[in-house]
Amino acid sequence: MNDTVKYVLDETRIPKFWYNLQADLPKPLPPVLHPGTGKPIGPDDLAPLFPMALIMQEVTTEREVEIPGPVRDVYRQWRPTPLYRARRLEKALQTPARIYYKYEGVSPAGSHKPNTAVAQAFYNKEAGVKRLITETGAGQWGSSLAFAGALFGLDVQVYMVRVSYDQKPYRRALMETYGARCIASPSNETQSGRAILAQRADHPGSLGIAISEAVEVAAQNDDAKYALGSVLNHVLLHQTVIGQESIAQMEMADDYPDVIVGCTGGGSNFAGIAFPFLGAALRGGQKIRIVAVEPAACPSLTRGTYAYDFGDTAHLTPLTKMHTLGSTFTPPGFHAGGLRYHGMAPLVSHLKELGLIEAIAYHQIGVFDAGVQFARAEGILPAPEANHAVKGAIDQALLCREEGVSRAILFNLCGHGHFDMQAYIDYFGGKLSDRGYDEKELAMALAGLPSVTEPA
Ligand SMILES: *Cc1c(COP(=O)(O)O)cnc(C)c1O
């Protein structure tokens, strides 16, 4: 039995532009605000953290942003990525649905994250930057930036959330193999880290704390800049190569998605697959449903407040309007470390407010059930984060079975789980739990939201 159906583009089909959804939005994004003045910030306010080329990509409303030649050259190593029809999974589910998945796990770091890491390293190198400072949760972003830094001759320094640093030594080893320096966060190297350690010496860390440390170091050193792996407009922009390739591959399949599914931590892989299709719909093309899937233990889109908030715990970042659980919220431990962020990308949040996307939250055991079912049918072992998208797609396919209709479902398989086998061991050992977040802690974190509103 050979049911493998794979749509492959040759390398001349790597997109030449990133697609900018800001050009097609029915209503523009709310401005980013200065935390001191409450007034919109300008490009110069961000200059200590990012090179100007990336700052301009943050605010541009041009529809197409050209991908520099050297970035496309690096993309050629693994792009265009394959798109598969999941025939064996369809059979296993006995669904009339047509399930397709775009596979981003073929990159050197094993996820979609190098799509932006390579671009960010390129622009920083062009601007004369010597060092990139960043944070990482599970280690996917840290290893992607370490890879990109190695290619462009930049030093990379990664603040890794303490629990992951201790529990995920393999991702750390990968970063070090690429030449990066990896520091457990909270650390003694920064004021933000020392302040947290003074309160609690064995603090397990959080993405919000690690971001504070990285931003602090970048802001204080002229030769260093900060890099973020999700959330920001320019990061989502770089990921749109995923959706643009998918449009061409769905054409090869002579099909078009009725539903697109992606998992959301900060929103970048979801945006990558969905925005090019959404843009086409906003310009008068075929309408589609778009579903964002998030963990029930850190449900920013489904349970967060849409408000101005900080991106980090120490409140060093500007204020952006987004769905947030509050910058001091610490989600309970669960295995999809890449989805443990208190906020959601402003662009994705804006779409949710406009009713252009839907969101759903799942507990982790059902998510791993789905991932294992997928692996047994399709052979690819997804990252725990990607299992959320798998579960979302399977539920859509089961809905088709119930309703007796055939729809095309496209989801983003954003990474493989080869460095996450402990999560699978725990799942098979019956050690996963569906612990929710602490309602009291959420209420407290939300009560602490800064009291600024959108300027009229
Ligand atoms: C980082 C990561 C995520 C979460 O980040 P997004 O910006 O929401 O995509 C999801 N999946 C994988 C495999 C990741 O590495």
User: Does the Cβ of 140 fall within 6 Å of ligand 1?
Assistant: yes
User: Does the Cβ of 383 fall within 6 Å of ligand 1?
Assistant: yes
Q: What local confidence, expressed as pLDDT, does residue 1 receive?
A: 54
Q: Count CA within 13 A, CB hemisphere, residue 91.
A: 10
Closest approach atom of ligand 1 to CA 235: 7
User: Does the Cβ of 136 fall within 6 Å of ligand 1?
Assistant: no
Distance 263 CA to ligand 1 centre (A): 7
Single-letter amino acid, residue 364:
Q
User: Does the Cβ of 412 fall within 6 Å of ligand 1?
Assistant: no
Buried b (16+ CB within 10 A) or exposed e, 251-275: eebeeebbbbbbbbbbbbbbbbbbb
Domains of the chain, with CATH numbers? 4-14+66-110+234-447 (3.40.50.1100), 112-232 (3.40.50.1100)
Closest approach atom of ligand 1 to CA 386: 11
User: Does the Cβ of 388 fall within 6 Å of ligand 1?
Assistant: no
Contact 119, 149 (CB under 8 A): no
Distance 265 CA to ligand 1 centre (A): 6
Distance 181 CA to ligand 1 centre (A): 22
Distance 178 CA to ligand 1 centre (A): 20
Element containing residue 273 per DSSP (H, E): helix 268-282
Longest dimension (CA), the chain: 65
Structure tokens at 347: 């662009």
User: Does the Cβ of 143 fall within 6 Å of ligand 1?
Assistant: no
Closest approach atom of ligand 1 to CA 271: 9
Q: What local confidence, expressed as pLDDT, does residue 424 receive?
A: 97
Instruction: Give the number of other CB atoms < 10 A from CB of residue 132.
Output: 27
From 238, 263, 347, 420, give the residue whose CB has the most ligand 1 atoms within 8 Å, as the site to mutate.
Answer: 263
Closest approach atom of ligand 1 to CA 111: 13
Q: What local confidence, expressed as pLDDT, does residue 336 receive?
A: 85
pLDDT tens string 308-339: 999 999 999 999 999 999 998 988 878 888 89
User: Does the Cβ of 386 fall within 6 Å of ligand 1?
Assistant: yes
User: Does the Cβ of 242 fall within 6 Å of ligand 1?
Assistant: no
64-66/17-19 β-pairing: antiparallel
User: Does the Cβ of 339 fall within 6 Å of ligand 1?
Assistant: yes
User: Does the Cβ of 216 fall within 6 Å of ligand 1?
Assistant: no
Per-residue pLDDT in tens (0 to 9) along the chain, 456 residues:
568 899 999 999 999 999 999 999 999 999 999 988 999 999 999 999 999 999 999 999 999 999 999 999 999 999 999 999 999 999 999 999 999 999 999 999 999 999 999 999 999 999 999 999 999 998 999 999 999 999 999 999 999 999 889 988 999 999 999 999 999 999 999 999 999 999 999 998 989 999 999 999 999 999 999 999 999 999 999 999 999 999 999 999 999 999 999 999 999 999 999 999 999 999 999 999 999 999 999 999 999 999 999 999 999 999 999 999 999 898 887 888 889 899 999 999 999 999 999 999 999 999 999 999 999 999 999 999 999 999 999 999 999 999 999 999 999 999 999 999 999 999 999 999 998 899 999 999 999 999 988 877
pLDDT tens string 154-191: 999 999 999 889 988 999 999 999 999 999 999 999 99
Backbone angles phi, psi at 354, to 5 degrees: -80, -5
Q: What local confidence, expressed as pLDDT, does residue 2 receive?
A: 63
